[in-house]
Amino acid sequence: MSEKLKQLKQHIKENEIDLFFDKINSSLAVDSDLVNLAITLKSKYKHYKTDSIKGILSSEEHQLQRNTLINDLLNMLDLADEDDFKNDIIQKSITYFHTAITKKQNELKEITNKKADGIDKAAYSLIKLGQILSGKKDEVEQTILFDQTLKAASRKVLRRVTIACTEIKALRSFQSKSFKEIIQLYQELVLYLDFPKEKIDAQKIALLQHNFDDIKIHAQKLEAAQGKQLKPFNEILPGIQNFIATKDLICKALQTQLPENRSIQENIDTTYSNFDSVEKLILETVDSLSKIELSDMTLIKQLDNLISELKLNLEEL
C-alpha cells in the first residue's frame, strides 16, 4: 500500500472526513476513474452532515448512514492504485538543487544561532555548579549549595541540568539531522551532474560554489566545537558523584544525632534522589553527545569527499 493511501485511510480512521475529501480531491489525477465516485460520495457526505445538524436523523439512522459512508470510502480506496494519483516527481535542475540546499543550510544556521546564546548560558551555569560541588567556593560570586538548604539546592541543580541537557540534545540532534539532509542533497547533485539535463553556465556554477563555501564554513565550525559541548557536563559530574558518595555517612550521623526526626531524613532522601537523577541525566547526555560527535566527524569527511567530487564534475562540464 502506498504512503498516500495509508494517509487517506488514516484520516477515515480518525474521523477526519472533511480533511479526507480535501486530500483526495487534490491527489486524484484528472483522468482517474475515481474522480466521479469521489464527487458522488462527497455529495452524500454533505447531505448526511446537513441532516445531522438539523436533527432530523434518529440515533439509529445517524449511525447507519455514517457506517455506510465509511464503508463506501474504504471500498473506493480499495479500488485505487498508483495510476489514480497525480505524479509527484520533482523535476531536478541546478536551480532546484541550489534552492533546496540554500534553504536547508540557512535553516541550519538560523536555528544554531538562535539557540547558541541559551546553550552558552546553560553551559556556564553547569560549570559554575561544578565548581561549587567540587568545593571551589572562592571561584564563584554566589553559590547555591552554601546559600540555601540542600533539598532546595538539589531541586535547582536538577532543574538547571534538565534544561541544559534538553536544550543541547535538541540542538545537536537537529544539527545532525539537518547535516545529513544536506549531504543527501549533495549526493543527489553528484548523480545529476553525471548526466545533466540542462546547459550549466558560469552563473549556475557560481550558485553551487556559493553553497559549497557556505557549508564548508559550517563544517569547520562544527569540527572545531567537537568536545567543547561535553566540557560543562564533565565539569559537574565529579562533584555530583562525590556528593552522592557522602549519603551513607550523613545518614549514619543523622541516625545517631536525630533518630526521631523523620522530616530531616525525608529531606536527605529527596536531596540524594535528585542528585541521582542529575547523575543519570548527565551520563545519558554525555553518551548521546559523544555518539552525535562521532557521527558528525564521519559526515564531515563524507562532505569533504562530495565537495571534491562535485568540483571535479563542474570542471568537466
- Tell me, what's the pLDDT at 218? 83
Q: Which of 142, 171, 154, 152 is nearest to 279 (CA)?
A: 154
Flag whether pLDDT at 147 surpasses 50. no
pLDDT higher at 236 or 297: 297
Same domain for 100 and 64? no
Residue 313 CA to residue 22 CA, distance in Å, equals 44
Q: How confident is the model at residue 71 (pLDDT cuts 50, 70, 90)?
A: very high
Return all residues near 226 (Cβ < 8 A) that are at least 6 apart.
293, 296, 297
The verdict on residue 89 lying in a domain is no
- Final residue in a domain of this structure, among 64, 84, 104: 84
Same domain for 105 and 74? no
Chain segment 118-137, per-residue pLDDT in tens: 777 766 666 666 666 655 44
Flag whether pLDDT at 1 surpasses 60. no
- Final residue in a domain of this structure, among 84, 112, 136: 84
Q: How many CA atoms lie within 13 A of 216 on its CB side?
A: 11
The verdict on residue 278 lying in a domain is yes
- Tell me, what's the pLDDT at 91? 66
Report, as an integer, the average pLDDT of 170-194.
Answer: 86
pLDDT higher at 154 or 252: 154
Q: What single string gives the DSSP state of each residue in 256-311?
A: HH-TT-HHHHHHHHHHHHHHHHHHHHHHHHHHHHHHHHHHHHHHHHHHHHHHHHHH
Question: By mean pLDDT, which of 38-52, 109-123, 163-177 is the weakest?
Answer: 109-123
Same domain for 104 and 72? no
The verdict on residue 311 lying in a domain is yes
Domain range enclosing 100: 94-316
Q: What's the domain count of the chain?
A: 2
CB 301 within 8 Å of CB 181: no
- Whole-angstrom CA distances from 179 to 207, 289, 292, 298, 305 are 19, 15, 11, 11, 15
Flag whether pLDDT at 264 surpasses 80. no
The verdict on residue 150 lying in a domain is yes
Report, as an integer, the average pLDDT of 44-69.
Answer: 86
Report, as an integer, the average pLDDT of 50-56.
Answer: 82
- Tell me, what's the pLDDT at 102? 92
The verdict on residue 51 lying in a domain is yes
The verdict on residue 11 lying in a domain is yes
The verdict on residue 225 lying in a domain is yes
Same domain for 196 and 111? yes
Helix axes of 59-79 and 17-27: crossing angle, nearest 10 degrees: 30
Same domain for 117 and 54? no
Same domain for 127 and 63? no
Same domain for 139 and 160? yes
Same domain for 252 and 129? yes
Same domain for 132 and 25? no
Flag whether pLDDT at 254 surpasses 80. no
Same domain for 136 and 228? yes
The verdict on residue 7 lying in a domain is yes
Same domain for 150 and 282? yes
Q: Which three cell numbers stand for residue 169?
A: 540534545
- Tell me, what's the pLDDT at 285? 87
Same domain for 159 and 126? yes
- Final residue in a domain of this structure, among 84, 108, 135: 84
Average pLDDT score, the chain: 79
Q: Which of 40, 62, 58 is nearest to 49 (CA)?
A: 62
Residue 101 CA to residue 288 CA, distance in Å, equals 27
